[in-house]
Structure 1
Amino acid sequence: MRDGTAVLVGTVAGVKKKVVVLDYGSGNLRSAERALARVGADVTVTADSAAALDADGLVVPGVGAFAACMDGLRAVDGPRVIGRRLAGGRPVLGVCVGMQILFERGVEHGHDAEGCGEWPGVVEPLQAPVLPHMGWNTVQPPEGSVLFDGLADERFYFVHSYGVREFTLGQDGADSALRPPRVTWAEHGDRFVAGVENGALSATQFHPEKSGDAGARLLTNWLNTL
């Protein structure tokens, strides 16, 4: 951030990075489109799997119930698209429920639904006296975070009642040959996962597109990894 204004990057040698916001019937599509365009991306909102596979970066938004989002994602071949991109090291960014569906399972209102399974873990109700967790909150990024570079002590906008309260991947040394995921935490009642950076796959529980200049800086940081 420079003089209070988000640094706008999103280009290399004058060429804008092509980003697809996946339209599967869930998410703040236009808000995400505007936020990405603000930081210099060439943005397309589409359900087309070929376009999603071809883009420099793929954003998977999400609002609502875990199971309904998974149904919508399957309807546009989303799990296969995400898997193929990651197999080729091509960046994907999940946002809010778009982060949650990357985990193994989601348990809401007694309904246990299968997720994409990119990470082990269960999305479950937050243990907090007031739900939903709605509004601005700080986060605790790990050392070496790329997404949160330059964002120490900034606040981000959350709207959710469910989250991942345990993240086990990389904690037992089983993947010691690889760089372990960088996990960002936040607190509302108890601790929950606010962000993950794991190779080509990144995600945030909060909404960067609603988080003002801090969100714009985070999206810029992500674009610079494409």
Structure 2
Amino acid sequence: MIAVINTGCANINSVRFAFERLGKTPTVITSPEQLAGYERAILPGVGHASVAMKRLVDNGWQQAINEYQRPLMGICLGMQLLCESTEEGNVQCLGKIPGQVKALDVGSLTSPHMGWNNLSIQQAHPLTKGLHKDDQVYYVHSFAHTVNDATLVSSEYGQTFSAIVAKDNYAGMQFHPERSAKVGTRLLQNFLDWQL
């Protein structure tokens, strides 16, 4: 029983298909009242943080996510929205994962950070099971969570940033596991297996 939260700020089909390849059929939900009926949930997201956050608040998702006590994972912008705040639009976010999201300091590199990049495990967690130091995942982003105690895995692009974060029943992946081939499949399976 997996819910994919549809806030209108993501292409949810690719996430849905990724779980179907694992033999699970997630339900796309459009009402906050539905969330409590599911064993775990995904918050995907693309686009601008201030627009996405406003939709979450205006449509009642903030309270539903606050009250949810089972595994919930944000992907890409969805991960950033679970953090305390973001420089993108200077908005307060859901505050479920400690730390701020800031513009990537890419130096002479191109922005956004787009393409495959390596993972570096910072601490062991059920979500990192089976990961290896040479594993790569697919990114598209220009803002990122600053590394802190919630960081399970990091990557580097101009600076070190959080790739996977977790706090209590909330987690986030900055990259797109649904577009990250076998490594992404492994990570989505880890999320399905995660017991609190």
Given the two structures, how large is their TM-score scaled by the length of structure 2?
0.92
Task: Give the superposition deviation at 1:51.
Answer: 2.1
Counterpart pick for 1:157 among 122, 138, 151: 138
Identity across the alignment (%): 32
Give the Cα separation in 2 of the matches to 1:51 and 1:38.
24
The counterpart of 1:98, out of the listed 70, 74, 78, is 78
Which letter maps to 1:191?
T
Q: What is the root-mean-square deviation in Å for CA atoms of aligned residues?
A: 1.5
2:104 to 110, 113, 126: 126
Three-state SS of the structure 1 residue aligned to 2:27 is strand
Q: What SS does the corresponding residue of 2:117 show, helix, strand or coil? A: strand
Does the residue aligned with 2:90 lie in a helix, a strand or coil? Answer: strand
Residue 181 (structure 2) pairs with residue 212 (structure 1):
yes
Greater gyration radius: 1
Q: Which runs of 5+ in 1 are unaligned?
A: 1-17, 171-180
Does residue 15 of structure 2 align to residue 37 of structure 1? no
Shift of 1:182: 5.0
Separation in structure 2 between the aligned mates of residue 107 and residue 144 of structure 1, nearest angstrom: 29
| Number of the residue aligned with 1:13 | none
Which of the numbers 1, 4, 7 marks the counterpart of 1:24?
Answer: 7
Equivalence for 2:55 = 72
Q: Which residue of 2 aligns with 1:115?
A: 93
- 1:196 equivalent among 138, 159, 165: 165
Does the residue aligned with 1:156 lie in a helix, a strand or coil?
Answer: strand
Larger relative contact order (C-alpha < 8 A, sep ≥ 6)? 1
| Count of aligned pairs | 192
